[in-house]
């Protein structure tokens, strides 16, 4: 087969939308609706370039690379995040993925400005084995961390909050976040991404209402990452809907309807992060239960032990890979939703 690799712009919008409808990025229950503007979600990740693989003028695969800023060795540095990787199902058993990966690496090697990249793959992605070849998304990939994404239902009362939690404006939140996250390896440190108008900033202060102990941003994922139900709602989730109606929170959607969910993003704490995460969960469940069906947050695999299990929780795991000229002592202490 002969493949052609191109950088994509807005003129390929409709082809990308069609490809996104035909590809599964990891969940059999939901699909991500990228309409009406395919590039909208990518903008959440930072300045992004999209690339496509064509066969006989048909777009059969795509991938994106987003420029971000992350904390590396206690400094804010540029990093490059590989995302939006899709291969048309008809080409899963061909060399299409490897051609796409090969062209992408060659493109950035020739530019000479990007030495290494990272990506996060949902472990339930049905294409993970062929994508990672057991070691990494692209040739020479190295696994650096695993993340557990936990979804807690808004109809549950998690616990009574023991701290004073308040909403603050973006500029004040940025000052607090910079201070708390400056030593957290791989934490995002780009102000523009942080201040994007897609959520509410929450802060926990000490008893004297002076020192900030923890911060997070409740992001409305329903808009940027529009999840829609792929098929008829399974019976177990119909039971969940009974509790949702009693608690007056949005139920699970019907087929092709949007799943209303929030994400606890940009979480940082002075100490004992698990305690403060639980406090934020309680506050959000109490104050925002009429807006969301579920609240999601990310933790490391080791940190998962601090969160009680519940049959109504949704749990997804992902793996982060890095490849290229990997920096020495690279580590990842920040676990949030940056999935392909």
**What DSSP string runs through 56-119?**
TTEEEEEEEEEEEEEEETTEEEEEEEEEEEEE-GGGTTSSHHHHHHHHHHHHHHHHT---EEEE
C-beta of residue 320 within 8 angstroms of C-beta of residue 120: yes
Question: What integer pLDDT is reported at residue 338 of this predicted model?
Answer: 61
Provide the CATH topology of domain 151-318: Aminopeptidase (3.40.630)
DSSP string, 157-214: ------SEEEEE-HHHHHHHHHHHHTTSTT-B--HHHHT-SSEEEEEEE-TTS-SEEE
State phi, psi for 55 to the nearest 5 degrees: -135, 115
Residue 250: the pLDDT is 94
The whole-number pLDDT of residue 340 equals 40
Q: What does DSSP assign to residue 26?
A: S
CATH superfamily for domain 4-146: Gcn5-related N-acetyltransferase (GNAT) (3.40.630.30)
Q: What is the pLDDT of residue 126?
A: 60
Question: Strands of 212-220's sheet, edge to edge?
Answer: 4-8, 47-55, 58-72, 75-87, 116-122, 314-324, 142-153, 294-300, 261-269, 212-220, 199-205, 164-168
Q: Say how far apart CA 66 and CA 114 lie, in whole Å.
A: 11
What are the per-10-residue average pLDDT scores of the chain (340 residues)? 91 94 73 86 89 94 94 94 89 84 88 89 67 57 90 82 89 97 93 92 89 94 78 81 92 89 94 90 92 93 85 88 87 77
* 4-146 against 151-318: fold identical: yes
Distance CA 138, CA 118 (A): 10
How do the domains of the chain map onto residue ranges? 4-146, 151-318
Q: How far apart are CA 284 and CA 204, in angstroms?
A: 13
Q: Are 117 and 324 in contact (CB under 8 A)?
A: yes
* Residue 168: predicted pLDDT: 97
Could you tell me what percentage of the chain is helix, strand and coil, using 3-state DSSP and rounding each to the nearest 5? 30, 35, 35
Q: Are 116 and 122 in contact (CB under 8 A)?
A: no
Contact 297/267 with Cβ under 8 angstroms?
yes
Note the pLDDT of residue 139. 64
Using the structure block, give the residue that is written with the tokens 């109504």: 312
Burial 128-156 (b: 16+ CB within 10 A, else e): beebbeeebbbeebeebbbbbbbbbbbbb
Q: Does residue 137 contact residue 321 with C-beta atoms inside 8 Å?
A: yes
Specify which residues 262 forms β-bridges with.
220, 295
Give ∠ CA 49-257-23 in degrees, rounded to 5: 40
């Amino acid at each position: 087969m002969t493949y052609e690799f191109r950088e994509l712009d807005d003129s390929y919008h409709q082809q990308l939308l069609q490809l996104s409808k035909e590809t599964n990025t990891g969940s059999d229950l939901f699909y991500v609706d990228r309409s009406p503007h395919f590039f909208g979600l990518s903008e959440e990740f930072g300045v992004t370039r999209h690339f496509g693989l064509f066969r006989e003028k048909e777009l059969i695969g795509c991938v994106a690379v987003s420029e971000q800023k992350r904390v590396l060795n206690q400094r804010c540095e540029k990093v490059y995040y590989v995302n939006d990787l899709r291969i048309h199902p008809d080409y899963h058993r061909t060399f299409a993925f490897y051609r796409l990966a090969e062209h992408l690496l060659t493109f950035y090697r020739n530019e000479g400005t990007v030495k290494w990249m990272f990506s996060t793959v949902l472990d339930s992605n049905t294409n993970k084995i062929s994508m990672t070849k057991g070691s990494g998304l692209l040739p020479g990939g190295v696994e650096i961390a695993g993340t557990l994404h936990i979804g807690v239902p808004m109809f549950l009362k998690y616990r009574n909050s023991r701290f004073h939690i308040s909403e603050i404006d973006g500029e004040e939140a940025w000052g607090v976040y910079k201070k708390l996250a400056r030593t957290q390896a791989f934490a995002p440190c780009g102000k523009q991404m942080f201040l994007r108008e897609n959520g509410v900033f929450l802060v926990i202060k000490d008893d004297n209402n002076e020192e900030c102990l923890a911060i997070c941003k409740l992001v409305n994922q329903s808009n940027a990452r529009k999840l829609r139900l792929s098929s008829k709602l399974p019976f177990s989730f119909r039971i969940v809907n009974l509790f949702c109606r009693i608690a007056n929170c949005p139920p699970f959607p019907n087929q092709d309807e949007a799943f209303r969910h929030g994400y606890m993003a940009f979480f940082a704490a002075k100490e004992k992060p698990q305690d403060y995460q639980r406090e934020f969960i309680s506050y959000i469940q109490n104050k925002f239960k009429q807006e969301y069906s579920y609240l999601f947050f990310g933790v490391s695999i080791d940190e998962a032990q601090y969160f009680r299990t519940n049959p109504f929780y949704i749990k997804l795991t992902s793996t982060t890979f890095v490849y290229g000229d990997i920096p020495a002592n690279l580590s990842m202490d920040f676990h949030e939703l940056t999935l392909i």
